[in-house]
Amino acid sequence: MEYHNIYIEEENYLATITIDRPKKLNALNKATIEELHEAFKELDADENIKVVILTGSGEKAFVAGADISEFAHFSVKEGGKLAAKGQEMLFDFVANLSTPVIAAVNGFALGGGLELAMACHFRVASSNAKMGLPEVSLGVIPGYGGTQRLPELVGKGRAMEMIMTAGMISAEKALAYGLVNYIVEQEELLPLCEKLASKISNNSSVAISQAIKAVNAGYSFNTDGYAAEIEAFGACFGTDDFKEGTTAFLEKRKADFPGS
């Protein structure tokens, strides 16, 4: 697929996806969502890629929201379809991707931008980052999973306050809330994400994909997370990575997983 709103850089085990709509502060429109879906699908199928970093172009914004001009005239039915399709195509797709995804939040992450960052497996922010869900100021609510993922990450009370006030929080507050794992200066953002990706890449990709599945199961309303963990734990025993990891441990050497 030819990409117009994003670009991908690959080096060894790592792929970096950059949303590239700087004049729109990298706002998500329909075309960008479709391109991101295809990019994540393509990279997840590539056995050589062990980690994906997602970021925005420039230093102002990760993603400053959705492109409101595309849906300002929508009906009730069209609005519901927009949220359902977006969640399935991108936000839930990223959250359940078997390849780890790190959000490098380089500036504003608002509305759909924060929802996209929260769909990633964890987040690192630049010191100038600002995060929020301002949808109620437009007469609507977050529709790409924000009302569910934000309480999971920061707690119900804080999520309610952020959503109802439509305000932005600083990177420092996001760190205190547990919304991001680290804050660094802008120039250190990608290097830190790459360092974390390197640590992840040393481990079993097969086990990591099972861990993602088990952790996510605990937040699913119709899944027993403990049962999912037992199933995923057992599945690991049938893999070459398990044989290599345990053999390496017993032989007191570093495990040599594929691609590590």
- List residues with catalytic annotation: 115, 135
Contacts of 96-99 spanning 24+ positions with Cβ under 8 A: 96/212, 96/213, 96/216, 97/40, 97/44, 97/52, 97/212, 98/44, 98/205, 98/208, 98/209, 98/212, 98/213, 99/43, 99/44, 99/49, 99/50, 99/51, 99/52, 99/205, 99/209
Please state, in angstroms and rounded to a whole number, the distance separating the CA atoms of residues 58 and 7: 13
- Both tokens of 115, joined, read 């929802």
Contact 144, 87 (CB under 8 A): yes
Residue tagged 């994540």 (tokens): 40
DSSP summary character for residue 129: -
**Separation of alpha carbons 47 and 50, rounded Å:** 7
What is the rounded distance in angstroms from the CA atom of residue 239 to the CA atom of residue 232?
11
Encoded tokens for 98: 């078997």
